[in-house]
Amino acid sequence: MQHYNMNLTLKVWRQRSNKVKGHFESFQVKNISSEMSFLEMFDVLNEQLVAEGKDPIAFDHDCREGICGMCSMYINGRAHGPWTQNTTCQLHMREYKDGDTIVVEPWRAESFPVIRDLVVDRSAFDRIIGAGGYVSVNTGNAVDANSLPIEKQKADEAFAAASCIGCGACVAACPNASAMLFVSAKIAHLALLPQGEPERKNRAVNMIQQMDTEGFGSCTNIGACEAECPKGISLENIARLNREYVGAIFSGSNNG
C-alpha cells in the first residue's frame, strides 16, 4: 500500500462543559501520514495547538486497540467514522485524501452530557450495569467454569453478546437515542449462561427500569444501532431482551 501525506481541514466541536453552548472550530493540519490512526492525527493537532499557546481538544481514549470503547467520536455523520465494525482508534487516515474536510462531534444524546469538547459522560451505562448486569453466585476458577456443560450454540451467542464494549455508538446512531442494543447485549449474555440464572427475572426488570430513568429513548427497530456497532452486536439480542422482560413481568419478579 502506497504511503502518502495530506493536508486536511478539521471542523471540531468545542464545548467547555454541558453548562455552556458549544460551537465548531476549524483547524488546518498538514503533512498527515496516511498510515496514522485517527487519534494519532488528533495528537498532531493538539501538539500544534499547545505550541500555539491554545487549549488542546479534549477527547477520550485508553487502549487504542479497539476494546475499551472510549474513543467516542462522531465523524462526518457516523459513529466511529466510515469503517464498518471499527472503533475510532482503529480508523486510519488512508480513508481520506488530500484537501478533505472532516467534521468531528461528540455523541449526541441527552443521557450522555458533554464533559468537554469530544468527551461525554457515559456513567449512565455504569448505573444500568449496577442495576442488574452482574451475577452473585460463586463461579469458581477457570477450570471450574470449563466443567459446566453449556451447549455450543448458547455459548457462541453469549460470547457474541458479551463482546459489547459499551462505547455508546448505538445510542449516538439511534435517532431516538435508545440504549436497547447495549442493555440487550448485557442481559442476553447472562441470560444464556447458567451463572446468570439466579438474578434472571430481576435483572431484566431492573436494568430496563434504570435505562428509562436515565432518559434513553425507545427502540423503534430502525437498525442504525446494529449498523454502527463496532462489535456487530445483533438486533436479535433486543428480541431476547423483550422476551426476558415480558417473561419476568408475567411470572412476577421480586423487584420492589
Going by C-alpha positions, the residue among 196, 210, 192, 109 that lies closest to residue 156 is 192
Number of domains in the chain: 2
Q: Residues for the chain: how many in total?
A: 256
Residue 104: what pLDDT? Answer: 98
Q: Is the CB of residue 240 less than 8 Å from the CB of residue 160?
A: no
Question: Do 202 and 146 have their domain in common?
Answer: yes
Distance of CA 249 to the CA centre of its chain: 29
Residues 111 and 41 in one domain: yes
Is the same domain home to 147 and 73?
A: no
Lowest mean pLDDT among 55-69, 75-89, 141-155, 172-186: 141-155
Residue 146's pLDDT band (boundaries 50, 70, 90)?
Answer: low
Once rounded to an integer, what is the mean pLDDT over residues 243-255?
80
Dihedral of CA atoms 77, 173, 43, 2 in degrees, nearest 10, equals -60
Among residues 87, 116, 145, the one where a domain terminates is 116
Tell me, yes or no, whether 25 lies in a domain.
yes
Same domain, 53 and 139: no
| CA–CA gap between residue 188 and residue 195 (Å, rounded) | 12
Q: How would residue 254 be classed by pLDDT, with cut points 50, 70 and 90?
A: low
Q: What is the mean pLDDT of residues 40-53?
A: 97
pTM for this prediction: 0.92
Q: Can you give the CATH number for the domain in which 195 is found?
A: 1.10.1060.10
Q: Which domain holds residue 183?
A: 123-251
pLDDT at 1: 66
**How far apart (Å, rounded) are the C-alpha atoms in residues 178 and 165?**
16
Q: Tell which of 92, 116, 140 closes a domain.
A: 116
pLDDT of the residue at 256? 42
CB neighbour class for 170 (10 Å; exposed up to 12, middle 13-18, buried from 19): buried
Q: Are residues 34 and 57 in the same domain?
A: yes
pLDDT at 255 over 60: no
Q: What is the pLDDT averaged over residues 159-176? A: 97
Q: Is residue 61 part of a domain?
A: yes
Whether the predicted pLDDT of 95 surpasses 50: yes
CATH number at residue 18: 3.10.20.30
Same domain for 103 and 151: no
Return the pLDDT at 52. 97
- Per-residue pLDDT band for 26 (boundaries 50, 70, 90) equals very high
- Asked whether the predicted pLDDT for residue 139 surpasses 80, the reply is no
Q: Residues 149, 213: one domain?
A: yes
Question: Is 256 a member of any domain?
Answer: no
The reply to whether 13 and 88 lie within a common domain is yes
Write the DSSP symbol of residue 61.
-
Q: Is the dihedral angle over the CA atoms 63, 112, 191, 197 positive or is it negative?
A: positive
Section 18-46 average pLDDT:
97
Any domain includes 229: yes
Among 89, 116, 143, which residue terminates a domain? Answer: 116
Same domain, 112 and 128: no
> pLDDT per residue over 191-222, tens digit each?
999 888 888 889 999 999 999 999 999 999 99
> Given this model, what pLDDT does residue 147 score?
73
Contact yes or no for 172/79 (Cβ under 8 A): yes
Residues 166 and 71 reside in one and the same domain: no
Q: Are residues 128 and 60 in the same domain?
A: no
Residues 193, 158 contacting (CB under 8 angstroms): yes
Q: How confident is the model at residue 253 (pLDDT cuts 50, 70, 90)?
A: low
